[in-house]
């Protein structure tokens, strides 16, 4: 049985005579490796870059290389910054924007998470509502901002409402994705042990969806801030957004820069705080 | 009337397949188990073992037939049996202790009381010191122990184990088998065990049901004539080997005749008197254990 196979193999010798393709001589090399600098060196480089940039800006404005009317200059900005905080509305504006953002963030995230979780209770309800949610997601919500201002007035509530509109969908859709990924076998196990739907919801669905809900916190704080700034742009009596718009309209370019600087600082602080909360929560939730 | 702990009568189940056709996964499956017995179901993959368990656990109501526990018809009822799968299904965000008390928690026991109750069991059954660890920190064998303890402390008298040791390495598996027998004799529960491994079935069980596929049905019932307690070296004895061979022969025959209806009862040349090979009787009523049939 084996014999014919062997012979047929033997009858087709390897094409040893075929010309060997030309290879370049083998050059031994080391694995390419970048030598990483230590953290202090990196930080030092970053500071140098920043200071260099600011100095270059100042110098160009003084030398007239750039038009300081439009671009302003660091020394002027620093002056206006002091004035903004000592004589201006700095704290009122910061507090207004901060409160609007925080409220929009909390309400939108909570509401969105609850909506997402609610889809677990009924597949029919989820199937009916889902297309509407997706439609709402695809609308540029900021386009609705003027309408929201009309409905909620020019005060704080309208800024919160825009923030909620931006964050609620993100939370709802992410949480719903989490709901769909709940381990079916764990669900079956709980039912086999005689669990009620409420028990499965509390002991399984909520804990497994929590990481999904938490993972959008950082995105949502940014969205809520965008919402309140846009609201302030459209119509407002306070807020950093209004300060930027007002300064721009009156050609106080230095004040624009100041407000943007303060806004960025606020944004970074809130982002860092939320990122920290997210990390702490994740540690408790996920193993 | 019946002293069986659990009894299946004419359980038949049809799945609707993707093309809308009916696929018969179980055909007239019937057996009964007396209290405190350890029985195994063996059979080729896809013969409906898990479907039987889902029916008993109430997760899938069979198309026909009934499930009777303690003389009460409980078809389609959940929460009456402990169920454990090959996947340990521990909650990753719960500590081992909190995983073990899940069943009690569902039954409405206060978490604190449940923990106090469970703690000694963890210590006694090889999970001492791991109470406050998370499942991710445990080995596969340890996780299966925790899952099994959860099933046992659920306080049901019937335990279904669906290939619980299938994913473990041979050595761990052997240790888990001895551990299971220990626990079974301590708790005195009625166990229905599913496995691929014939040796495992023979080593653990009082009775073995050999199943056939397409449609899933019970082909033979074998009594395991080995005394308890069973030391590990019992697996080397001739009686053990004969029992194993008998099971393998039945499974082989099944594999060869797959597809056509096997002539039931035609193949039972009971060479070994201790092995009571029976064709599945037409009615489940007659399928009580030999001692009780009289
Ligand atoms: N939900 C389902 N829909 C359709 N067919 C199924 C479903 N679940 C199981 N089956 C089929 O039923 C048969 C028995 O499955 P199962 O009980 O899981 O077998 P076993 O546990 O013995 O390997 C298999 O052929 C499987 O393909
Ligand atoms: Mg199975």
- Quick: pLDDT tens for A188-214: 999 999 999 999 999 999 999 999 988
Q: CB distance A192–B87 less than 8 Å?
A: no
Residue by residue, DSSP assigns B162-217 as ESTTTTS-HHHHHHHHHHHHHHHHHH--EEEEEES-HHHHHHH-SEEEEEETTTBE
Q: Which residue of A has its CA nearest to B137?
A: A287
Which ligand is located closest to the Cα atom of residue B86? 2
Q: What is the pLDDT at residue A15? A: 65
Contacts of B144 (CB under 8 A, 6+ apart): B88, B164, B165, B168, B176
Q: B209-266: per-residue pLDDT in tens?
A: 999 988 899 999 999 999 888 999 999 999 999 999 999 999 988 777 655 444 444 4
Share of chain B above pLDDT 70, in %: 86
Q: CB distance B58–A203 less than 8 Å?
A: no
Higher-pLDDT residue of A29 and A120 is A120
**Atom 3 (ligand 1) nearest CA:** B15
Q: Which residues of A touch B (CB under 8 A)?
A: 183, 185-186, 188-195, 199, 203-204, 207, 285-287
Kind of pairing between the strands at B22-33 and B190-195: unpaired
Contacts of A183 in chain B (CB under 8 A): 89
Q: Is pLDDT of B283 > 60?
A: no
Residue B294 banded pLDDT, cuts 50, 70, 90: very low
Q: What is the pLDDT at residue B167? A: 86
- Closest by CA position to B39, among listed B173, B170, B160: B160
Q: What is the pLDDT at residue B261? A: 44
Q: What is the pLDDT at residue B189? A: 92
- Closest by CA position to A227, among listed A142, A147, A146, A151: A142
Q: A11-24: per-residue pLDDT in tens?
A: 666 666 667 778 88
Spatial distance between the Cα atoms of B191 and B56, rounded to a whole number of angstroms: 12
Q: Which residue of B has its CA nearest to A205?
A: B91
Q: Is pLDDT of A55 > 90?
A: yes
Residue B272 banded pLDDT, cuts 50, 70, 90: very low
Find which of A106-110, B18-22, B194-198, B276-280 is predicted with most confidence, using mean pLDDT.
Answer: A106-110
Spatial distance between the Cα atoms of A209 and B150, rounded to a whole number of angstroms: 24
B176-184 contacts, C-beta under 8 A, 24 or more apart: B176/B141, B176/B144, B176/B145, B177/B203, B177/B204, B178/B232, B179/B125, B179/B126, B179/B145, B180/B148, B180/B204, B181/B228, B181/B229, B181/B230, B183/B125, B183/B148, B183/B152, B184/B38
Q: Is the CB of B23 under 6 A from ligand 1?
A: yes
CB contact, 8 Å: B80 with chain A? Answer: yes
Q: CB distance A194–B79 less than 8 Å?
A: yes
Whole-prediction pTM value? 0.80
Residue by residue, DSSP assigns A14-41 as --TTSPPPP-PPP---PPP-PPPPPHHH
* Residue B216 CA, closest ligand 1 atom number: 14
Ligand 1 centroid from CA B258, angstroms: 17
Domain boundaries, chain A: 1-29, 39-69, 85-286
Residue B128 banded pLDDT, cuts 50, 70, 90: confident
- Closest by CA position to A275, among listed A213, A206, A229, A216: A216
Which letter, b or e, does each residue of A122-137 get, where b requires 16 or more Cβ atoms within 10 Å of its Cβ? eeeebeebeeebeeee
Q: Is pLDDT of B269 > 50?
A: no
CB contact, 8 Å: B107 with chain A? Answer: yes
Mutate which of B13, B14, B15, B201 for ligand 1 pocket (most atoms within 8 A of beta carbon): B15
CB contact, 8 Å: B174 with chain A? Answer: no
Q: Is pLDDT of A232 > 80?
A: yes
* Residue B53 CA, closest ligand 1 atom number: 17
Contact indicator for A192, B58 with CB cutoff of 8 Å: yes
Ligand 1 centroid from CA A14, angstroms: 51
In Å, what is the CA distance from B279 to each residue of B31, B91, B264? 12, 42, 6
Residue B102 distance to chain A (closest CA, Å): 9
Residue B201 banded pLDDT, cuts 50, 70, 90: very high
Residue A215 distance to chain B (closest CA, Å): 17
Contact indicator for A274, A218 with CB cutoff of 8 Å: yes
CB contact, 8 Å: B59 with chain A? Answer: yes
**Atom 5 (ligand 1) nearest CA:** B15
The shortest CB-CB distance from A190 to any of B85, B106, B134 is to B106
Is the domain defined by A85-286 classed in CATH 1.10.275.30?
no
Spatial distance between the Cα atoms of B169 and B143, rounded to a whole number of angstroms: 14
Tokens of B72: 């009460």
For chains A and B, what is the number of CB pairs under 8 angstroms? 53
Residue A27 banded pLDDT, cuts 50, 70, 90: confident
CA dihedral angle for residue B182, residue B184, residue B188, residue B191, rounded to 10 degrees: -160
Residue by residue, DSSP assigns A116-135 as HHHGGG-HHHHHHHHHHHHH
Residue A5 banded pLDDT, cuts 50, 70, 90: very low
Which ligand is located closest to the Cα atom of residue B213? 1
Q: B62-88: per-residue pLDDT in tens?
A: 999 999 999 999 999 998 999 988 888
Q: Is the CB of B99 under 6 A from ligand 1?
A: no
Contacts of A190 in chain B (CB under 8 A): 102, 106
Q: What is the pLDDT at residue A25? A: 81
Residue B139 distance to chain A (closest CA, Å): 15
Q: B6-56: per-residue pLDDT in tens?
A: 999 999 999 998 888 999 999 999 999 999 999 999 999 889 999 999 999
Q: What is the pLDDT at residue B287? A: 38
ipTM of the complex: 0.80
Residue A10 banded pLDDT, cuts 50, 70, 90: low
Ligand 2 centroid from CA B52, angstroms: 9
- The residue-averaged pLDDT of A78-99 equals 92
Q: What is the pLDDT at residue A262? A: 93
- Closest by CA position to B28, among listed B44, B41, B12: B12
Q: What is the pLDDT at residue B270? A: 40
Contacts of A214 in chain B (CB under 8 A): none
Contacts of B257 (CB under 8 A, 6+ apart): none
Mean pLDDT (chain A, rounded): 89
In the β-sheet with B64-69, what is the strand arrangement from edge to edge? B22-33, B6-16, B64-69, B72-73
């Amino acid at each position: 049985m084996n014999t014919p196979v062997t012979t047929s193999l033997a009858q087709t010798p390897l094409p040893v005579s075929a010309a060997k393709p030309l290879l370049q001589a083998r050059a031994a090399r080391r694995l390419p490796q970048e030598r990483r600098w230590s953290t202090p060196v990196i930080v030092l480089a970053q500071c140098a870059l920043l200071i260099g940039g600011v100095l270059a800006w100042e110098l160009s404005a003084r030398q007239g290389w750039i038009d300081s009317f439009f671009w302003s200059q660091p020394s002027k900005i620093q002056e206006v910054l002091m004035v903004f905080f000592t004589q201006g509305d700095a704290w009122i504006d910061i507090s207004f924007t901060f409160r609007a953002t925080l409220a929009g963030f909390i309400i939108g995230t909570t509401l969105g998470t609850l909506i997402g979780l609610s889809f677990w209770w009924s597949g029919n309800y989820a199937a009916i509502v889902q297309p509407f949610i997706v439609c709402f997601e695809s609308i540029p919500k900021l386009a609705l901002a003027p309408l929201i201002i009309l409905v909620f007035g020019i005060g704080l509530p309208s800024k919160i409402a825009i923030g909620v509109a931006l964050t609620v969908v993100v939370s709802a859709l992410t949480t719903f994705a989490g709901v769909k990924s709940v381990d079916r076998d764990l669900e079956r196990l709980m039912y086999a042990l005689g669990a009620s739907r409420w028990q499965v919801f509390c002991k399984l669905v909520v804990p497994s969806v929590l990481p999904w809900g938490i993972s959008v916190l950082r995105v949502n704080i940014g969205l809520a801030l965008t919402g309140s700034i846009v609201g302030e742009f459209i119509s407002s009596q306070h807020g950093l957004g209004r300060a930027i718009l007002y300064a721009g309209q009156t050609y106080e370019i230095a004040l624009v820069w100041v407000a943007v600087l303060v806004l960025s600082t606020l944004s970074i602080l809130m982002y860092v705080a939320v990122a920290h909360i997210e990390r702490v929560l994740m540690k408790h939730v996920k193993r | 009337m019946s002293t069986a702990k659990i009894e299946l009568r004419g359980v038949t189940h049809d799945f609707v397949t993707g093309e809308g056709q009916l696929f018969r996964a179980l055909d007239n499956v019937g057996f009964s188990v007396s209290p405190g017995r350890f029985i195994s179901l063996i059979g080729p993959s896809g013969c409906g073992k898990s479907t039987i368990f889902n029916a008993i656990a109430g997760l899938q109501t069979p198309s026909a037939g009934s499930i009777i526990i303690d003389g009460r018809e409980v078809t389609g009822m959940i929460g009456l049996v402990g169920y454990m799968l090959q996947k340990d299904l521990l909650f990753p965000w719960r500590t081992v202790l909190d995983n073990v008390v899940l069943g009690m928690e569902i039954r409405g026991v206060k978490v604190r009381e449940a923990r106090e109750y469970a703690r000694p069991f963890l210590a006694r059954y090889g999970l001492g010191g791991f109470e406050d660890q998370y499942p991710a920190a445990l080995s596969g064998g340890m996780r299966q122990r925790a899952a099994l303890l959860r099933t046992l402390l659920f306080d049901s008298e019937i335990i279904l184990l669906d290939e619980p040791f299938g994913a473990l390495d041979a050595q761990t598996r052997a240790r888990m088998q001895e551990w299971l027998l220990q626990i079974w004799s301590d708790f005195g529960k009625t166990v229905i065990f599913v496995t691929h491994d014939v040796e495992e079935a023979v080593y653990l069980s009082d009775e073995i049901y050999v199943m056939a596929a397409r449609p899933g049905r019970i082909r033979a019932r074998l009594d395991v004539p080995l005394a308890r307690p069973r030391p590990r070296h019992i697996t080397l004895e001739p009686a053990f080997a004969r029992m194993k061979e008998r099971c393998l022969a039945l499974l082989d025959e099944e594999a060869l005749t797959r597809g056509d209806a096997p002539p039931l009862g035609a193949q039972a040349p009971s060479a070994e008197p201790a092995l009571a090979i029976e064709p599945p009787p037409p009615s489940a009523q007659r399928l009580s254990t030999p001692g009780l049939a009289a």
